[in-house]
Amino acid sequence: QPADVTACEGTDVSFSVTATGANLTYQWQKNGFDITGATASTLNLTNITLVDQGDYTCSVTGDCGDVTSTVATLTVNLNALAYAGPDAETCESVSYDVTGTTAANYTSVLWSHNGSGVLIDPTTLTPTYVPGTGETGVVMLTLHVYGDCADATDDMLLTINPNSIAYAGTDGETCEGVSFTVTNATADNYTSLLWTHNGSGALNDATTLTPTYIPGLGETGIVTLTLTASGDCADAIDMMTLTIDPNASAFAGADAATCEGTAYTVTDATADNYTSVIWTHNGSGTMTDAQTLTPTYIPGVNELGTVTLTLTAQGDCQPATDDMVLTISPAATVDAGADGAVCASGSYTLEGVAADYSSILWSTAGDGTFDNASEVNATYFPGVTDIANGSVILTLTAQGIAPCNMSISDDMLLTVAGDPTVEAGDDGTTCEDGSYTLNGFAENYASVLWTTSGDGSFDNASLFNATYTPGSSDVVSGTVSLTFTAEGFGTCDAVNDEMNLAISYAPVVDAGLNDTICHDESYVLNGFVENASEILWTTTGDGTFDDPTLLNATYTPGDGDIFMSGVELTLAATAILPCGGVYLDNMYLTIDVCGYIPGTIFENVIFRIAPNPAVDVTRFFIEKLPFDEVTIEIVDMKGSLISTNVYRVVNGKVEDRIVLIGLEEGVYNIRAKTRDYLKTLRLIVTK
């Protein structure tokens, strides 16, 4: 049997009956009337409305008779209705009271919105909307109506007209006496503009967005420029700050001092009205953090004296500079002196050196004593332990002067020994252009020294095996006495010994002066030699000597000598022991081709050069030459071939220029050659 149903408008409901029997048919009625198409055991009603409300029954017919269900009543509850009212307008920050709102079928109402403001009395049909701070534009106010069935909503649009907006632009800067034009001011929702200021200057174009402020005479500091924008709603005011900068100022700090090799950091520098700072200096060192007010100066190697550190403050206006002087004081230095020696029964005067110190002090690793340990040249008296050990270490310590307060020390070794002995070695012999290695010996000495009775020199006169080089007087006399002296320790007496050095002579060689002959001549040489065991002439060419062991040998040029226009002849002399080696001297024999080579008639051939002398270029001319080709060569006075070129002869004639660029100033041979013809001319090259 169907049950009573209460449902909301727009929902779906079902009525069902249960029957038994054969060949059943169903027919539903509403308020006693058949419902078309309702012929099933279940009646489905969709999206019901108030029209569907009523009493429902179902008649069931079968083979054995009819039956009707009991009455089931459908009650339809209506959905809520909402109207939020007409759209409206207000001004920024001005509250709006909602009017014209209606609602039905509800149990309660609630307003909501998408704005940044707040709603007062949102559970009534007449709320008030209070815009948020600075809120403009369109806000949607939504009415929510709640009932027993479906809720209802409706919107109204509230347009919040903006107040005037003014933006005076970003804060700006200018320099004293320099005008400033506002470039980024903006305004909205306005009908007029006006700028004002609190400075001592003046504003041009004060009713535009780009006014120009002209600072007053001497005006610096901050000026406020105020922009007022007036419109339909509230006026807007905004200000920008114009900073009028004075010139930059700089103070590099008080003069200061530091120690050699010690970095100094500036701590009291100041600057005003700047955008950046940079330090420079005139020292040999380096500077770190040079773009801050606390730079560090690192002195250069061995840098002393004063360094000027210059601070430059760069601002938007005139930059400023200032100097401070950094005095770099030397650190204490100390040198205990060279190691020394003293006789056991004597005393030793120290040779310490110190500088830039406030105090000094000698100390000993032994048991000796000082006459005054606070003097750099104190005298030391060896103790019993010093004598037994044979030596003692003495230390000189220097205390630095502020700001260099460190102490520094240095040691020297003092040898305590007996009387010296010395030997100069055996007598010897050396060559006049040679040297002699000595063979001295000494014991128990503080120092040794070689001296000479002549005018020669030692490579190091303080060495046992010093090398002696004879002087000109030694060579003339043929002998020299060399003395080896050993100085004793402390009060020990010096001793010496002598040796004699005999001096032999090296060969003297002279090949004679350079000379010139014709190609068909021989040449008698004129050599000179002294202090030689033997002599020998040699040639760079292919000529021959009648006897190359004679000083006045006769030389006959070979074909190659003639071809090269000369030859170098060398005279060699072998030294007499102890002098060693072979001594050489050269002469150059120039060989001119006089005329033409015999055997062929070339009397009519003409060969000439012009200009001569020449600088960068000259020309050659050949006529009546019975050959098709000719070779032109340039040869220097030592026979070296400079260049060679082959030219074609036409009707016995040929001419061309000869480029001399690159040749050194001097005399050159210009040769014209064919198979049977050879002619040489002299060319003088000048610069």
The CA-atom distances, in angstroms, between 28 and each of 48, 373, 497, 675 are 17, 141, 161, 150
- At residue 595 the predicted structure's pLDDT band, cuts being 50, 70 and 90, is low
In this predicted structure, what is the pLDDT of residue 676? 73
The CA-atom distances, in angstroms, between 331 and each of 334, 459, 588 are 10, 37, 67
Pairing of strands 256-259, 320-329: parallel
Give 139: exposed, middle or buried? Use CB within 10 Å, 0-12, 13-18, 19+.
buried
- At residue 599 the predicted structure's pLDDT band, cuts being 50, 70 and 90, is very low
- Nearest Cα neighbor of 578 from 461, 682, 429, 438 is 429
Residues 209-249: tens digit of each pLDDT? 999 999 999 899 999 999 999 988 889 999 999 999 888 89
* Residues 148, 241: Cα–Cα separation, whole Å: 63
Q: What is the DSSP letter of 198?
A: -
- Nearest Cα neighbor of 390 from 417, 425, 369 is 417
The CA-atom distances, in angstroms, between 575 and each of 121, 389, 684 are 137, 55, 41
Lowest-confidence region among 141-145, 183-187, 287-291, 401-405: 401-405
* Residues 215, 201: Cα–Cα separation, whole Å: 4
* Strand partners for 253: none
Percentage of residues in the chain having pLDDT higher than 90:
73
In this predicted structure, what is the pLDDT of residue 594? 66
For residues 514-518, give the mean pLDDT: 83
Q: What is the DSSP letter of 50?
A: G
In this predicted structure, what is the pLDDT of residue 168? 97
**Whether the bond into 246 is cis, omega within 30 of 0:** no
**Residues near 651 by Cβ (< 8 Å), separated by ≥ 6?**
none
**Is the Cβ–Cβ distance between 219 and 200 less than 8 Å?**
yes
**Is the Cβ–Cβ distance between 384 and 367 less than 8 Å?**
yes
Phi and psi of 648, rounded to 5°?
Answer: -90, 135
**Is the Cβ–Cβ distance between 347 and 381 less than 8 Å?**
yes
SS3 of residue 678 by DSSP: strand
Residues 529-569: tens digit of each pLDDT? 999 999 999 999 999 999 999 999 999 999 888 878 789 99
**Is the Cβ–Cβ distance between 438 and 462 less than 8 Å?**
no
* Residues 629, 654: Cα–Cα separation, whole Å: 9
Q: What is the DSSP letter of 562?
A: H
**Is the Cβ–Cβ distance between 174 and 190 less than 8 Å?**
no
* Strand partners for 682: 669
Give 83: exposed, middle or buried? Use CB within 10 Å, 0-12, 13-18, 19+.
middle
* Residues 144, 103: Cα–Cα separation, whole Å: 9
* Strand partners for 487: 447
Lowest-confidence region among 352-366, 433-447, 525-539: 433-447
In this predicted structure, what is the pLDDT of residue 586? 95
* Residue that has been written with the tokens 């003293």 in this structure: 342
In this predicted structure, what is the pLDDT of residue 247? 85
* Residues 272, 293: Cα–Cα separation, whole Å: 11
Residues 151-177: tens digit of each pLDDT? 999 999 999 998 899 999 999 999 988
The CA-atom distances, in angstroms, between 329 and each of 257, 324, 409, 439, 443 are 7, 16, 19, 50, 46
* Alpha-carbon torsion (437, 443, 446, 451), positive or negative: negative
First to last CA, the chain: 144
What are the DSSP calls for 362-422, one per residue? EEESSS-EES-TTSTT-EEE--HHHHHHTEEEEEEEEEEPTT---EEEEEEEEEEE---EE
**Is the Cβ–Cβ distance between 637 and 566 less than 8 Å?**
yes
Q: Which helix (H) or strand (E) holds 474?
A: helix 472-477
In this predicted structure, what is the pLDDT of residue 559? 87
Q: Nearest 10 degrees: CA dihedral of 436, 439, 443, 449?
A: -10
Phi and psi of 386, rounded to 5°?
Answer: -55, -45
| Model confidence at 601: pLDDT above 60 | no
Q: What is the DSSP letter of 139?
A: E
Residues 623-643: tens digit of each pLDDT? 999 889 999 999 887 777 899
| Model confidence at 675: pLDDT above 80 | no
**Is the Cβ–Cβ distance between 513 and 490 less than 8 Å?**
no
Pairing of strands 515-518, 532-539: unpaired
Residues 69-94: tens digit of each pLDDT? 888 999 999 999 999 999 999 998 99
**Is the Cβ–Cβ distance between 84 and 142 less than 8 Å?**
yes
Percent of the chain as helix, strand, coil, to the nearest 5: 5, 50, 45
* Residues 266, 470: Cα–Cα separation, whole Å: 64
**Is the Cβ–Cβ distance between 47 and 10 less than 8 Å?**
yes
User: How confident is the prediction for the chain on average, in pLDDT?
Assistant: 92
